C-alpha cells in the first residue's frame, strides 16, 4: 500500500469527492470549503490561461508554472493533470521531477496520442500499450520514492474496449502507479464493471453534461470508487456567474450593490488574506 499523503487521506476518509481548481484563488476557495485535496485541471488551465479548449495546446512549462502558483497558495495537497507527460518517457521523467519541485502531491498520466484532448470529446487516439507503460516506468523512476501519488489514466475504453482499458491500468499499477482511472465510461453498468475490476484506489470523473453518468458519492463508493473528481464544476460555476454579471452590467449599466452581491468587497479581501498582509506590512513599516 502506498504511503503517500493522498493515500493516507483516503485511508482516513473512505470515498472522497474533490474539486478541480485552476488558479490560486480557486484553490484557496476549495481549501476554505474544507476539501482535503484539489486537482489542477488541464481543461480549466487551458480555458483560463489561453481562452482555448482542452485539445493539447498547453505546454509542459505552462502547466507546471500554474501548478507552482496553486501549490504555494494552499496547505492541502494538490494533484496535477500531467496530460500525456508532454512527449517521450524522457519528457515524462522531467515532467514528474518538475511537478515535485513545484510542490505537487501527485499527477494524472494518460495514454492519449499528443496533442491530446478532453476525455469526453470525440476523436481521441491512444498510444500503444508498451509506449504508455514505458512512460509509467519513467514517472515512477522520477518519483524516486518521494511523496508523490501517480494516477494511471487510460482513454482506451472508447477506442479498444473495456478489457484493454483495464489491462493498461492494472499493468501501470504493477509498475508502481498508486491509483487507476478508466476515463469516460458511458453507463452505470460500465462504471460498475470498472469499479469491480480495478484494484483500488479507483478514480471516477464526474462532468455535468459529459459522457459519464453523474452519480452520488455514496453510490460511487458502493461501486468501488475512491477518488471522485469533479474537475469542471468550479469553472462552470465561475463562468456562469461572470457571464451573468457582465450581461447585467451591459444591459443595465450597473451591478448589485455590495449588500446584495454574492461576494462583497470585505468578504473577498478576507478570502485573499488582506488583514494578514497589512499586519505584516505594519511590522516592518515602523
The helix/strand/coil state of 199 is coil
The helix/strand/coil state of 281 is helix
Cell of 216: 452520488
**Can you give the pLDDT at residue 285?**
87
Average pLDDT over residues 31-36: 97
Predicted TM-score (pTM) of the model is 0.94
Per-residue confidence band for 1, with pLDDT thresholds at 50, 70 and 90: very low
Specify whether the CB–CB gap between 180 and 207 falls below 8 A. Answer: no
Q: pLDDT tens digit string along 96-122?
A: 999 999 999 999 999 999 989 888 888
Q: Is the pLDDT of residue 36 over 50?
A: yes
Contacts for 236 with CB less than 8 Å, ≥ 6 apart: 208
**Ramachandran area for residue 218 (φ above 0: left; ψ -120 to 50: alpha; else beta):** alpha
Average pLDDT over residues 176-192: 97
Parallel, antiparallel, or unpaired for β 203-205 and 227-230? Answer: parallel
Contacts for 112 with CB less than 8 Å, ≥ 6 apart: 83, 84, 124, 125, 126, 127, 155
Per-residue confidence band for 280, with pLDDT thresholds at 50, 70 and 90: very high
C-alpha distances (whole Å) from 198 to each of 13, 57, 137, 195, 215 are: 20, 31, 19, 6, 18
Q: Which CATH number fits domain 5-238: 3.40.640.10, 3.20.20.60, 3.40.50.720, 1.20.120.1230?
A: 3.20.20.60
The helix/strand/coil state of 204 is strand
- Please state, for a pLDDT cut of 70, what percent of the chain lies above it: 97
**Can you give the pLDDT at residue 121?**
83
**Delimiting residues of CATH 3.20.20.60 domain(s) in the chain:** 5-238
d(CA 18, CA 134): 29
d(CA 247, CA 262): 16
Q: Terminal CA-to-CA distance of the chain, rounded, Å?
A: 53
Parallel, antiparallel, or unpaired for β 78-81 and 149-154? Answer: unpaired
Q: Is the pLDDT of residue 206 over 80?
A: yes
CA angle (110, 112, 113) in 5-degree steps: 140
CA angle (241, 244, 245) in 5-degree steps: 85
Amino acid at each position: 500500500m502506498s504511503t503517500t499523503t493522498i493515500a493516507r487521506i483516503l485511508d482516513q476518509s473512505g470515498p472522497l469527492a474533490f474539486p478541480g481548481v485552476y488558479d490560486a484563488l480557486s484553490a484557496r476557495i476549495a481549501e476554505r470549503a474544507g476539501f482535503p485535496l484539489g486537482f489542477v485541471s488541464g481543461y480549466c488551465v487551458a480555458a483560463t490561461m489561453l481562452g482555448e479548449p482542452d485539445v493539447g495546446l498547453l505546454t509542459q512549462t505552462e502547466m507546471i508554472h500554474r501548478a507552482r502558483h496553486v501549490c504555494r497558495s494552499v496547505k492541502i495537497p494538490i494533484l496535477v493533470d500531467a496530460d500525456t507527460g508532454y512527449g517521450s518517457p524522457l519528457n515524462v521523467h522531467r515532467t514528474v521531477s518538475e511537478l515535485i519541485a513545484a510542490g505537487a502531491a501527485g499527477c494524472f498520466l494518460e495514454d492519449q496520442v499528443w496533442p491530446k484532448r478532453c476525455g469526453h470529446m470525440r476523436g481521441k487516439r491512444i498510444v500503444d500499450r508498451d509506449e504508455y507503460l514505458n512512460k509509467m516506468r519513467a514517472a515512477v523512476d522520477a518519483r524516486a520514492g518521494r511523496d508523490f501519488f501517480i494516477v494511471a489514466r487510460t482513454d482506451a475504453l472508447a477506442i479498444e474496449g473495456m478489457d484493454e482499458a483495464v489491462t493498461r491500468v492494472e499493468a501501470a499499477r504493477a509498475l508502481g502507479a498508486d491509483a487507476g482511472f478508466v476515463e469516460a465510461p458511458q453507463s452505470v453498468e460500465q462504471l460498475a464493471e470498472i469499479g469491480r475490476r480495478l484494484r483500488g484506489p479507483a478514480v471516477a470523473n464526474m462532468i455535468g453534461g459529459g459522457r459519464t453518468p453523474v452519480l452520488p458519492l455514496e453510490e460511487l463508493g458502493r461501486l468501488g470508487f475512491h477518488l471522485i473528481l469533479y474537475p469542471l464544476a468550479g469553472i462552470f460555476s465561475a463562468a456562469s456567474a461572470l457571464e451573468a454579471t457582465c450581461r447585467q452590467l451591459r444591459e443595465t449599466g450597473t451591478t448589485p450593490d455590495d449588500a446584495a452581491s454574492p461576494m462583497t468587497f470585505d468578504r473577498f479581501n478576507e478570502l485573499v488574506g488582506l488583514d494578514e498582509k497589512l499586519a505584516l506590512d505594519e511590522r516592518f513599516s515602523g
